[in-house]
Chain A
């Protein structure tokens, strides 16, 4: 048994897992407050990464400034998308709305390829060091930044929902829109806010992934990877999203390990999460933390 390698994979799993957790939170945020299953979550990451890349490479902005401009842009983008595309869909059947988000996903994929080409592009170097030494493990600084940012985002989400009045308004809206309205909460602005935050935070994750792996349309595949995480954690649970993300991140690394050492089936890294997806749907369709829909007559 190769313990060092296993440990390294565990660390990778946790780092990637927190990132999945962040994207999963964004997905849950939209689902919980607007009941929309957003298949274009990965494309939010992709757009964010490309925009940030373009700002750094073509406009030569310093990293921190490009990063902030990207976040501001994505916030506006989220609001615009909600107002123009999704607001008119309110009240339509769920399947139509899902089709719209799948359409958005394809559209943005194509648009990004058209604007930025099909080749992967590397971010300019942001960090001086190639790797940082932590407890004898060498970790890329971008990974470390990814981990720190993910944790900060999670703390931010927690603070937002627990202590800010907008978070409270959002929870109220998620629970019962009519009652929230009767208490003076504008459901329209809550919806717009959900999309804005979700787009912004996804883009943040996208930039981080882009810094590690380069930016290409493959990046948006994480948007699909998020599904096992979200189903595992429970579609409407923010805590579940984080837990689901971590578990899936660890699982895919361990699956890779087991496969490389023993089974040699190949590509378990990509496939294992979807096995979990199927198993969870069969044995615990509401996930670990999701709300069970109990109908009382």
Chain B
């Protein structure tokens, strides 16, 4: 892979559901190592955009390039295997499973032993493989500070912790690019600060490129390297946080002209 190539590039993505245009002609690039935020009013097509990248939706037109490769026609699980992880806007943990099992599901595609060789546990290295995976999972658990709840059933945890477990599960896939759909929605100030710190650490220490949808402008402007603004399925701006804050177009469409003082 060429170092200068973007990790993700979308080319003129258009997506429609029946008569409704969800996305029109959206192109953007995300460079390796960035925290890239997508903002915009409700119904602007942010989640649709994320779904086109993760593969849940197939765009009607346009291409999605990941690590220099056209992934437009790949299934979501193939994309995950290539190194693309995501979390969901509405919590989507496996509620009946323990926290540990939830995270282990994310390791599935990384394990090589199948069904038959797994049965010959000690001969085929399945044991070594298993313990190696356990160690990675432990690293993730330590990093997100959820070791005290590892045995807990995921569905019984409070909201903020569940969000963290969901992040842990997405990180377990060991993605190079992680898509976060409103990671801080519904959190209190303290939880938001923690989450922002985890995201920055994932980016800086774990080397993950992050694409994030978030409504909390304070956080977005604080931790993003670049920001893209969508409105009615169209890209109206992208650039550095400062540029976005001072962009007249953006103010009109999203932030509301008089609110800028509050945000800053």
Binding site for B on A (CB under 8 A): 164-166, 168-169, 171-172, 175-176, 178-187
Contact = CB atoms under 8 A, between A and B. Distances in A.
B16 interface: no
A45 B172 CA distance: 40
B68 interface: no
B115 interface: yes
Interface residues of B, number: 31
B80 A181 contact: yes
B62 interface: no
Contacts, number: 78
B119 to A, nearest CB: 9
Interface string B155-172: 000000000000001101
Given A175-B94, A175-B95, A176-B92, A183 B173 contact: yes
Residue in B55, B85, B88, B105 with the greatest tally of chain A CB atoms within 10 Å: B105
Given A175-B96, A179-B88, A168 B80 contact: no
B241 to A, nearest CB: 28
21 contacts: A164-B118, A165-B104, A168-B104, A169-B105, A169-B108, A172-B94, A172-B105, A175-B94, A176-B94, A178-B92, A179-B94, A181-B75, A181-B77, A181-B80, A182-B56, A182-B85, A182-B88, A183-B80, A183-B169, A184-B77, A185-B108
B94 A181 contact: no
Nearest to B55: A181
B143 to A, nearest CB: 18
A185 B105 contact: yes
A211 B111 CA distance: 40
Nearest to B174: A184
Q: What's the dominant secondary structure at chain A's contact region?
A: helix
B92 A183 contact: no
Contacts of A181: 55-56, 75-77, 80
Contacts of B94: 171-172, 175-176, 179
Contacts of A183: 77, 80, 85, 105-106, 108-109, 169-170, 172-173
Nearest to A168: B105
